[in-house]
Amino acid sequence: MTRRGAAALAVVGCVLLAGCTQGPDPEGRTERQTAEAYVRALNDRDAAALAELAPPGYEGVEADARAAVAADGGKGIAVADVEVSHEFGDDVASTRIIGTDRDGSPFRTYVSMAREDGTWVVVLGHAPGAGTKGGASPASTERP
């Protein structure tokens, strides 16, 4: 499992534990609007705008945003479809973004999202305290 995948699973777990709310959330940015903002940030190669889509207070957001921009930034992606799956509850989404880049090549990516105070955010980084213990990564085989 990749570091990004492990971080996403950790966040999903945290969101599931904290997902019980007292009432309906106010309407905010939808999953599709968040996916479109994600693609705009990639197209603009704007890691700061991408980081603003992350949950507030998360650690490692800037590094994850820079990595996403390095991988897919500046491609001129046009969104054709956004498919949303809520397999782990109403406040967690796996979002598939489908489109083409400026050269007409297909573009597909999955983005993990969570609903925070009624607004969908892109899961970047990790919740405070959900990082590593003793400086070792979660998949580390080194002895402490």
CA distance 67 to 123: 13
Please name the residues in contact with 38: beta carbons below 8 A apart, sequence gap of 6 or more. 50, 53, 97, 111, 122
Residue (of 75, 58, 74, 73) closest to 122 by Cα position: 58
How many folded domains does the chain comprise?
1
> Is residue 142 a part of any domain in this protein?
no
> Is residue 38 a part of any domain in this protein?
yes
What domain range includes position 91? 3-18+28-122
> Is residue 88 a part of any domain in this protein?
yes
Tens digit of pLDDT at every position of the chain (144 positions)? 444 444 444 444 444 444 444 344 447 899 999 999 999 999 999 999 999 999 999 999 999 999 999 999 999 999 999 999 999 999 999 999 999 999 999 999 999 999 999 999 999 999 898 765 554 444 444 555
The helix (run of H) or strand (run of E) holding residue 108 is: strand 106-116
CATH number, residue 98: 3.10.450.50
DSSP 34: H
CB 43 within 8 A of CB 76: yes
> Is residue 144 a part of any domain in this protein?
no
> Is residue 81 a part of any domain in this protein?
yes
| Gyration radius from the chain CA atoms | 16
> Is residue 133 a part of any domain in this protein?
no
